[in-house]
Structure 1
């Protein structure tokens, strides 16, 4: 498929291609996470203080009344820069690892390639995100902790040292690894299903608008499926960062096993579905404008010839 100017900015699977994917992931993730900062502020407060912030509308009302409208944008810098960095690693490395594992594991199922690629990328993405998340969650749940990253980073370092930035790394992996694996795999399979069973045409035979429409539909499906899987770990992360518990087991005991799945779930569904949809849309739009095909599928001739099982 040709780009806006009739040629591709770079060839697929080149260093420039992976760099473009990283930039696309950074822009798409950073801007979309920034846009939903008010919902994220509410989500964190619902997790840390579920009695006070018991619902979406009442929670917003309490925040607005007690802390003012500016409280809804607390932690915006952590959302923009933290998740921008995470998105760059996640999307860029996913593309790299998908090609790497498809070449290495010839004859394996597509699902195994998607799971391995997304998990490998997410490990590095969360290491990059963790310091930003540590400050962001404190800023959102503790009104007088800091104004943002500029004063939050040094304050956290002086009070807790380097370990304070990575207190929630394992729960973060526990939240994001399953979500990423489910999200990417669901997206890939959804794209294939839509083209094969709904549109009944090859991606290459569809217009850019149609391709981006498929991206949005598959993206929303992927976000919705991944939300429920990652909700328990998301609650644990918020509890640990705000010192409601000293370790994972204590957090689980205090929150309750059943509540891990349902606490803040409605607001997370409200956040994640549209968020993931917009991320994939912006990401694929950047690829299309660069003359590259939209996402979905393993572009590997050996795998295609082998007719891998799904």
Structure 2
């Protein structure tokens, strides 16, 4: 329990850093909000011309294969993948030290600075990039699915489930987050294993198949924590 409590400040720093940089990158890359929703009132009423137009768009999307694969839709998948990958990749050294402070008994009395120096002295500076491949790939997939499906779900939920914009956006975000985090879970488990035990594998494509073979469906045990 004591070791699990270590690194709390680092967690806060990482969340703030990845959140700010991720949302900033996504905003810059996606350029503007969805044209399907920007013109709508905060709470469109049934029978409203704008809402009816949105319902027609959603109907057409569903008929054409659930969601349209257009340049506009692909923009959000691309922007989300890039922003999440870059923002989380930049905090990998912090996460490596945090994970070691929590899992390595020999570092239980160390702080972030001492832990960083110890890792560099004993294992080399390159160790601070442990799990970088898993992080870049995992969060590229997670960010792409999360932000992309969020933009695709919004008009459909707003037209088919509720006419309250806030509720619709929350539902769309929850569904998109579930999809993205489920895809991320095996890669995040691989990253943690590689950081805790560098000898487990060379990188993600070496370690992931081995971890899947060993754990099977239990590789998703960390999903609730990610969510």
User: Could you list the runs of 5+ residues in structure 2 that have no partner in the other structure?
Assistant: 35-68
Sort the Cα spacing of 1:253 and 1:178 in 2 relative to 1 into closer, same or farther, 3 A: closer
The aligned residue for residue 156 of structure 1 is 119
1:194 to 2:157 alignment: yes
Structure 1: gaps (5+ residues) = 1-68, 201-205, 274-310
How many equivalent residue pairs? 190
CA RMSD, aligned part only? 2.7
Residues 196 and 125 of structure 1: CA distance in aligned 2, closer, same or farther (over 3 Å) = same
| CA distance in 1 between partners of 2:193 and 2:157 (Å) | 39
The residue correspondences of 1:33-72 to structure 2 (distance < 5 A) are 69-72=1-4
CA distance in 2, matches of 1:175, 1:245: 18
CA contact (8 A) 1:86 1:126 kept: yes
Structure 1 residue aligned with 2:29:
97
User: Are the aligned partners of 1:136 and 1:148 in contact in 2 as well (CA < 8 Å)?
Assistant: no
- CA deviations 1:158-199 (Å, max 9, x no partner) are 223331111211111121111111111122222222212222
Give deviations 1:55-75, integer Å, cap 9, x for gaps.
xxxxxxxxxxxxxx4333222
Q: Distance in 2 between matches of 1:230 and 1:263?
A: 14
The 1-side partners of 2:213 and 2:77 are apart by: 26
* Aligned counterparts of 1:258 and 1:93: Cα–Cα separation in 2: 37
Q: Matches of 1:177 and 1:143 in 2, distance apart?
A: 32
Match of 2:222 among 263, 267, 273: 267
Structure 1 residues 221 and 162: alpha-carbon distance in aligned structure 2, compared to 1, 3 A threshold? same
Q: Name 2:50's counterpart in structure 1.
A: none
Q: Distance in 2 between matches of 1:164 and 1:87?
A: 24
Equivalent residue, structure 2, for 1:223: 177
1:114 aligns with 2:69: no
> Which of 187, 207, 213 is the equivalent residue of 1:251?
207
Q: Distance in 2 between matches of 1:143 and 1:192?
A: 50
Give secondary structure in 2 for the equivalent of 1:73: coil
Q: Distance in 2 between matches of 1:237 and 1:180?
A: 17
Note the 1:142-181 alignment, pairs <5 A: 142-146=104-108, 147-181=110-144
CA distance in 2, matches of 1:179, 1:239: 19
1:123 to 85, 95, 115: 85
Q: Please state whether the residue corresponding to 1:199 is helix, strand or coil.
A: coil
TM-score, normalization by structure 1: 0.54
Normalising by structure 2, what TM-score? Answer: 0.72
Identify if the C-alpha distance between structure 1 residues 71 and 216 changes in structure 2 by more than 3 Å, giving closer, same or farther. farther
**Hey, what's the Cα distance between the residues in 2 that align with 1:183 and 1:148?**
34
Q: Deviations over 1:66-114 (max 9, x none)?
A: xxx43332221221112221111111110110008x9xxxx94332111
CA contact 1:178–1:230 (8 Å) conserved in 2: yes
**1:244 Cα shift?**
4.5
